[in-house]
């Protein structure tokens, strides 16, 4: 039997089944879009509180994701837009860097000059904030943008109640940094990095080190520095840097975790993590040899240049909320 349009009854039935399947696909697609929609303010705040609690649990099986200089593949590095992308993505911590202008303003900038990340040239310490505002940030992927260099205060106000921040390159300005954090009411949602020994840190800043969430960055080839922190300071988080995996602190993470300290590893470049970098997971599709290896060696925080893909991996392996 054929229909008036020339289709057989079988063709008609198959077409009907196809239409029904397509409608089901649209429903599923719609559900997926709803699941991946921009989070609500309540969800963002709840996530931040979860991160704060996880930072107090060195033995937690959850692994936190720290986005290196924000979501720089979709926005300029160290930009407010990069922060917003990370908030919407569900990243746990955003790492950022500071410099100081000629007129004493703290700004977000990693390099010694603005040459690479903006359409201008020069050293931040030789320029006023107003002069720096005449330039635009560059995206790591697409080139020039319309985004400006943010001040530290602007950035922390954008992060307030929404994202936990790790502040790098801040050590020379630590007192000024703490002042901004107190002014913006964000002192409790920040880790502050320092690479010197505990003795040097206490000499430079005294009790201030004990009043903030101070995160020492320690090279495993200097085990005495690690031991000094574990005996006399007990930071909430310690960042380990290692070019090889021979250190006893890499082979046995309990030596650190048993002291109530959470361990931060990096997957950025080889000399930070004995070669177990993001690119092995992403470009070579061998995540167990990079992120998996890092986790198996004690990391409960991983700094990455691939935050969304790392989040996906952790969730697939039930290692994230």
Q: Between β-strands 93-100 and 164-168, what pairing exists: parallel, antiparallel or unpaired?
A: parallel
- CA atoms within 13 Å, Cβ hemisphere of 308: 11
- Three-state DSSP at 100 gives strand
Residues pairing with 241 in the sheet: 219
Asked if residue 261 lies in contact with residue 236, where contact means CB atoms within 8 angstroms, the answer is yes
Closest CA to 149 of 128, 173, 166, 165: 128
DSSP type of residue 143 = E
- Three-state DSSP at 255 gives helix
Helix, strand, coil percentages, rounded to 5, for the chain = 45, 15, 40
Find the farthest-apart pair of alpha carbons in the chain and give their distance in angstroms, rounded.
93
Helices (H) and strands (E) in the chain, counts: 14, 11
Q: Pinpoint the alpha helices (H) of the chain.
A: 9-35, 41-54, 80-89, 129-132, 152-159, 174-184, 198-205, 223-232, 248-251, 254-257, 270-273, 278-282, 291-296, 307-316
Sequence-distant (6+) residues with CB within 8 A of 74 are 82, 85, 141
Report pLDDT for 37: 77
> Rounded CA gap, 44 and 321, in Å?
13
Backbone angles phi, psi at 39, to 5 degrees: -70, 155
Report pLDDT for 12: 44
Q: What angle do CA 163, 91, 256 make, to 5 degrees?
A: 90
Q: Pinpoint the alpha helices (H) of 80-213.
A: 80-89, 129-132, 152-159, 174-184, 198-205
The tokens of 288 are what? 């167990």
Query: How far are the Cα atoms of 121, 174, 177 from residue 99, in angstroms, in the given order?
Result: 15, 11, 11
C-alpha torsion 215→220→226→230, nearest 10: 80
Query: How far are the Cα atoms of 52, 214, 266, 301 from residue 56, in angstroms, in the given order?
Result: 7, 13, 20, 12
DSSP type of residue 239 = E
Output the CATH code of domain 41-316: 3.20.20.190
Asked if residue 96 lies in contact with residue 164, where contact means CB atoms within 8 angstroms, the answer is no
The C-alpha R_g of the chain, in whole angstroms, comes to: 24
> Rounded CA gap, 249 and 50, in Å?
27
Report pLDDT for 16: 43
Tell me the whole-structure pTM to 2 decimals: 0.88
Asked if residue 127 lies in contact with residue 133, where contact means CB atoms within 8 angstroms, the answer is no
> What does the pLDDT profile of the chain (321 residues) look like in tens digits?
444 434 454 444 444 444 333 333 333 332 222 235 799 999 999 999 999 999 999 999 999 999 999 999 999 999 999 999 999 999 999 999 999 999 999 999 999 999 999 999 999 999 999 999 999 999 977 788 999 999 999 999 999 999 999 999 999 999 999 999 999 999 999 999 999 999 999 999 999 999 999 999 999 999 999 999 999 999 999 999 999 999 999 999 999 999 999 999 999 999 999 999 999 999 999 999 999 999 999 999 999 999 999 999 999 999 999
């Amino acid at each position: 039997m054929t229909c008036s349009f020339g289709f057989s009854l079988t063709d008609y039935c198959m077409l009907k089944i196809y239409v029904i399947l397509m409608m089901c696909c649209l429903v599923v697609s719609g559900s997926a879009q709803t699941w991946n929609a921009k989070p609500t303010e309540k969800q963002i705040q709840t996530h931040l509180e979860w991160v704060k609690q996880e930072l107090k649990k060195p033995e937690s099986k959850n692994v936190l994701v720290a986005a290196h200089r924000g979501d720089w593949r979709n926005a300029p590095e160290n930009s407010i837009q990069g922060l917003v992308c990370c908030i919407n993505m569900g990243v746990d911590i955003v790492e950022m860097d500071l410099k100081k202008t000629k007129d004493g303003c703290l700004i977000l900038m990693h390099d010694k000059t603005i040459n690479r990340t903006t359409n201008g040239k020069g050293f931040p310490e030789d320029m006023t904030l107003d002069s720096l505002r005449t330039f635009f940030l560059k995206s790591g992927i697409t080139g020039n943008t319309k985004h400006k260099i943010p001040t530290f205060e602007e950035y922390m106000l954008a992060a307030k109640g929404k994202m936990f921040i790790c502040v790098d390159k801040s050590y020379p300005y630590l007192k000024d940094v703490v002042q901004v954090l107190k002014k913006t009411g964000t002192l409790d949602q920040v880790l502050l990095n320092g690479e010197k020994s505990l003795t040097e840190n206490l000499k430079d800043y005294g009790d201030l080190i004990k009043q903030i969430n101070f995160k020492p960055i320690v090279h495993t080839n200097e085990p005495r520095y690690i031991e000094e922190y574990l005996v006399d300071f007990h930071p909430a988080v310690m960042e380990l840097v290692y070019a090889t995996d021979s250190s006893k602190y890499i082979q046995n993470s309990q030596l650190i975790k048993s002291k109530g300290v959470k361990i931060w590893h990096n997957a950025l470049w080889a000399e930070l993590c004995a070669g177990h970098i993001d690119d092995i997971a992403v470009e070579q599709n061998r995540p167990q040899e990079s992120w998996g290896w890092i986790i198996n060696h004690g990391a409960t925080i991983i700094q990455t240049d691939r935050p969304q893909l790392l989040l996906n991996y952790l969730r697939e392996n039930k290692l994230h909320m």
